[in-house]
């Protein structure tokens, strides 16, 4: 039985995307017949063993944040295959701000894992033969889930409040709407620091169309996805956000910033893109969505057509291909 160690910079109990990915992949790898452990990138190498034994495969999430663990794994487990999972900040920030660290992690890897289909635009050509895409999966909403109400045209923003997410862009886009508009922005996710929490609280005080509900449990997030008419993904950079997969699985139309991480999930021909940080363009799309049901329905058809990419079965098959690329078989 293959022994797989998943290493993530997000500690136990964290709601960060890296931790959620590691937890989901652990379950899928177990379905493939592997024995799996999850450990932190700050742990000692002994903590990366699987049931006390050296792993056959180490999967390290985040090339930059797990750089030290990646090099330590190569030394501690020289016979193990090593897969490095590339995040959005890896590709779109640290590749440029910390190129030596980034490229050292890539050079150590047998296999690279990306989470969307447009990574070849921004990675060196020499690493592409080792790159495998694993789309993050999501489950459809359950039968009997709540439906959107008529009083508000709710638009959902899901994700932690931090600079990369440009989290208040949707709130800014609805500040000056006419009284008759039913548009309302519902923001879910914890604040990265006190300055973001303060900014969200101040925006609520100044903007009656904006509500920040904080970090909610997953079941409540899914309830809001059922009640919303649209989702906004306004990120400046993304490595392949799972919330996009969740929206597609839920049949929830998306308005998304025009960045590779979104295009690599929604497709180049998706009709709901707006330029990064362009408040006016997002506002125009939101007003169009409220005024033109056919526009929203067209977006709904497009996300529904992408949903088969994001099933657990498809994600499991992609992980099996990674194992094969590493010369391993569960």
pLDDT digits (tens, 9 = 90+) for 15-34: 566 778 999 999 999 999 99
Q: Do domains 3-137+311-326 and 153-309 have the same CATH topology?
A: yes
Question: Where along the chain do its domains lie?
Answer: 3-137+311-326, 153-309
The CA-atom distances, in angstroms, between 77 and each of 54, 169, 271, 277, 324 are 7, 45, 47, 44, 19
Homologous superfamily of 153-309: Glycogen Phosphorylase B; (3.40.50.2000)
pLDDT of residue 142: 87
| CATH architecture, domain 3-137+311-326 | 3-Layer(aba) Sandwich (3.40)
Task: Tell me the pTM.
Answer: 0.93
pLDDT of residue 164: 93
Of 66, 9, 20, nearest to 243 by C-alpha is: 20
Contact status, residue 244 vs residue 254, Cβ threshold 8 Å: yes
Q: Residues of 249-274 as b/e, b for ≥16 C-beta within 10 angstroms? A: bbebbbbbbebbbbbbbbbeebebbb
pLDDT of residue 41: 85
Residues of the chain below pLDDT 70: 10-17, 330
């Amino acid at each position: 039985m293959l022994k797989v160690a998943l290493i993530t910079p997000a500690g136990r109990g964290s709601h960060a995307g890296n931790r959620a990915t590691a937890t989901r992949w652990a379950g899928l790898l177990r379905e493939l017949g592997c024995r799996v452990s999850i450990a932190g990138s700050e742990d000692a190498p002994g903590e990366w063993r699987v049931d006390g034994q050296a792993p056959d495969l180490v999967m390290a999430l985040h090339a930059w944040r797990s750089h030290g663990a990646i090099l330590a794994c190569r030394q501690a487990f020289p016979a193990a295959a090593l897969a490095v999972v590339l995040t959005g900040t890896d590709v779109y920030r640290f590749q440029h701000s910390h190129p030596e660290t980034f490229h050292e992690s890539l050079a150590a890897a047998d296999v690279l894992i990306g989470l969307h289909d447009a990574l070849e635009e921004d990675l060196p050509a020499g690493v592409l033969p080792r790159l495998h895409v694993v789309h993050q999966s999501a489950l459809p909403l359950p039968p009997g889930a709540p439906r959107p109400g008529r009083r508000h045209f709710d638009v959902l923003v899901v994700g932690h409040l931090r600079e990369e997410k440009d989290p208040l862009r949707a709130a800014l886009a609805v500040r000056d709407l006419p009284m008759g508009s039913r548009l309302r922005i519902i923001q879910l996710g914890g604040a990265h620091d006190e300055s973001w929490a303060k900014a969200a609280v101040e925006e609520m005080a100044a903007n009656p169309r904006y509500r920040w509900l904080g970090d909610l449990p997953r079941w409540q997030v899914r309830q809001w996805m059922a009640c919303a008419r649209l989702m906004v993904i306004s990120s400046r950079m993304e490595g392949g956000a799972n919330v996009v997969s969740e929206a597609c699985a839920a049949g929830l139309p998306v308005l998304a910033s025009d960045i590779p991480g979104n295009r690599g999930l929604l497709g180049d021909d998706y009709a709901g893109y707006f330029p990064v940080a362009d408040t006016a363009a997002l506002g125009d799309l939101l007003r169009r969505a409220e005024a033109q049901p056919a526009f929203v329905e067209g977006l709904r058809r497009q996300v529904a057509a992408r949903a088969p990419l994001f099933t657990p079965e498809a994600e499991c098959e992609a992980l099996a291909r990674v194992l094969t690329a590493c010369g391993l078989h569960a």
